[in-house]
Chains A and B, each alone.
Chain A
């Protein structure tokens, strides 16, 4: 059975801290791994990763994929209160299915 696991499930940090969110997966026919940010409404797309070792960056956020060890990390540096959200990891399979992990709830306090 395909599954995506995220850790930690929740995290509280202070503004300015750096955080690392983890995502591991076991799926058949991996196509890509996606990260989403969800605030109080619908998820918004952050990154799509298909190749090992290539870091994707967007401002203070970065992500990398390890297809051999079947995991990805999402780093957020110099966190701000606006980074408070649920971060969702998802894996797309060759069968056009997307399997989501449970999410990591990040709270950034001033």
Chain B
């Protein structure tokens, strides 16, 4: 298994540009989520999905869109990038997050995004 993969690893955008951060997992996990990590602020939840076709907002959803058409993929779209979106983005997945007996999330390697 490749686990959770993210592409690209690094990206530089100009203000106003759009792009999609890709996230895929090959573990048949139902739960997937996107976080951003900024210095001194830990990880903040952007959007999450409990299964294909279902998405919901996290703490900081503004400026980001997601969709979940398949179990494997959970892309994050920036429609009009802003300097405030400069951050490291992590995608994570979990087999069955609804049951407290199994809470581990598997994180991807991250995407470092800079918006100029």
Contacts and interface: CB of A to CB of B under 8 A. Distances in A.
Interface of A: 4, 6, 9, 31-32, 34, 41-45, 48, 50, 88, 90, 92, 96-103
B41 A102 contact: yes
Contacts of B59: 97, 99
A34 B106 CA distance: 13
Contacts, number: 57
Interface residues of B, number: 25
Given A41-B109, A42-B90, A42-B109, A99 B45 contact: yes
Given A43-B43, A103-B42, A97 B100 contact: no
B98 interface: yes
Contacts of B58: 97
Contacts of B41: 102
Given A31-B103, A45-B104, 10 more contacts: A4-B42, A9-B40, A41-B109, A42-B110, A92-B103, A96-B56, A96-B97, A97-B58, A101-B42, A102-B40
Contacts of B105: 45, 98
A22 to B, nearest CB: 14
